[in-house]
Amino acid sequence: MREGSVGLLALTGIVLLAGIAIWLRGFRFGQAQYEIVVDFPSVNGIQKGNKVYYRGLEVGNVADLKPSPNGVNVTLEIDSKLPIPKNVIVLALRSGLIGETSIDITPLEALSPELQKMDPLSDDCDSKKIICDGDVIQGEASVTLEQLLPTMARLANLYGDQEFFNNLNQTAKNASLAAEEVANLSRELAILSRSVRGDFSKFSNTAEEFSSTAEALTAAANNISRQITTTSDNYNSVAVEIQKLASNVNDLLEENRTGLVKTLNTITKTSDNLAVLVGNLNTSLESIDTKKLVKDLETLTANAAIATANLKNFSE
């Protein structure tokens, strides 16, 4: 009886240990899962059974790790009820400096209602839209303690170097002097700003006077322009009248061209006749005694005056 109890207790212990081991490995009874392979550049502390998170919620675990020529292929088991977009960032994160490493999946886009109903295990799964069973995606490793320690050591050595420390102190002093110079420059700029404001006020007054002068010049220019326009209109009117007069003269000349020609011919003939008459008259005058003719004219004039006086007396 006692041996049977010991055997039963041992069997119970074995079952419990097996259950704990299975639970630690992430095995879930009665729940279908699909696998995806993530290619990481290094293992970064990843172990079988590490948890997988999607948007901060646990959705699976690490099932297997296999080395590859360019990194490590980590197989993840994901809940089949969760479709994941193809465009994601997969990071291997460590909780603290020595904590457990987990896989964090962050989607970069939202799924449409149609894609949310798609089953990653089905034959109709579209690998271009969501991650399907057996797909391989690229992962990124976070900064590890092993990577930080050499950097921190180099930083400590550099900061412990006396020459570097002196240079750092000198740089701090130079920065302090530069700050003082900047403060002095700021004060000078403030003084310059006040001076510029005063000059700007004077400039504003000058600008207003210039504006007034410009307005007066504009008004005068407009007046001159109007006068020039009026004069131009008058000149245009005179030109039109002169053109009309020239046209009338041309018409008159055209209408009386024949008469003018005849008149000019008549004048020419008359001039010729006068020339002949003058020649004859000169000849006659040469043949007449001019002195006697003058005396006869004087006598005739005196007689005419006497006759005129008599007629006047008779009329009274």
Which range, of 32-46, 116-130, 194-208, averages the lowest pLDDT?
Answer: 194-208
Beta bridge partner(s), residue 36:
76
Distance (Å, whole) CA 188 – CA 185:
5
- Helix (H), strand (E) counts: the chain: 6, 8
Q: Which residue has the higher pLDDT, 257 or 64?
A: 64
CB contact at 8 A, 46 and 31: no
Residue 28 in 3-state DSSP? coil
Percentage of the chain with pLDDT > 90?
20
pTM for this predicted structure:
0.42
Residue 198 has pLDDT above 80, yes or no: no
Residue 39 has pLDDT above 60, yes or no: yes
Percentage of the chain with pLDDT > 70?
68
Residue-wise pLDDT for 256-308, tens only, equals: 667 666 766 776 777 677 677 767 666 665 665 566 766 777 777 777 677 66
Q: Are strands 33-40 and 136-138 parallel, antiparallel or unpaired?
A: parallel
Question: 64: pLDDT confidence band, cut at 50, 70 and 90?
Answer: very high
